Amino acid sequence: MSTIAELRTTTWPAHQRLEKRIDIKARLITIDTYRAHIAQMWGFYVALEPQLASGVFGDKLTDYDARRKVPLLERDLTALGADPTSLAQLPRCRQIPVCDDPVTAFGCAYVLEGATLGGRSLLPVVQTRLGLTSDLGAAFLASYGEAVSDMWRAFGVALDRCCSGERDRARAAAAASATFGALESWLCGDRP
């Protein structure tokens, strides 16, 4: 079994709990609800991505910079009316999982990369319902463009190389579950 398949199985309860608690369709009804959702996603990613971008992957995921979502979220928020001052005032998640080595970083990144796949299914909804495009307000959902499947496969290969042992897979799964939990708390307002 691939590491991605193992992480999917192990984190399924946390993933399902998150999906049940957030009503993603309600978050895409109007420009205002969508903007609020994108602002929350920015607050999570802007807190977590610096840990992942710090070089924690070493030579295990050399294309991490191309995977960063904060620039896309900021582009979307700007297209939806934000300016540098309002961006700086947005809340940031304070309770993020620790990912201070390649194995735990891959666990955290698994959740973010999975969200990229999910975003692709939401893109047509915001295009039709809200009139947004990958160039105007929906860059985050359109992450990687046509290369989304290739990026997911490349992530899976790197994940397998890094987490080949049972102990590493268990640690990556624990980090992924913690990331799902932190995202759930953040999106559902369970934060202090």
Task: State pLDDT tens for residues 93-115.
Answer: 999 999 999 999 999 999 999 99
Over residues 40-90, the pLDDT tens digits come to 999 999 999 999 998 999 999 999 999 999 999 999 999 999 999 999 999
pTM above 0.85, yes or no: yes
Kindly list the domain boundaries of the chain, sorted by start residue: 3-187
Q: Rounded to whole angstroms, how far apart are CA atoms 94 and 168?
A: 26
Collapse the DSSP code of 159 into the 3-class scheme (helix H, G, I; strand E, B; otherwise coil) and give the result: helix
Which CATH architecture fits 3-187? Up-down Bundle (1.20)
Residues 6+ apart with CB under 8 A from 83: none
Angle, nearest 10°, between helix axes 3-21 and 166-187?
20
Helices (H), 22-83: 31-51, 64-67, 70-79
What are 169's two structure tokens? 């897979």
Q: Rounded to whole angstroms, how far apart are CA atoms 40 and 64?
A: 22
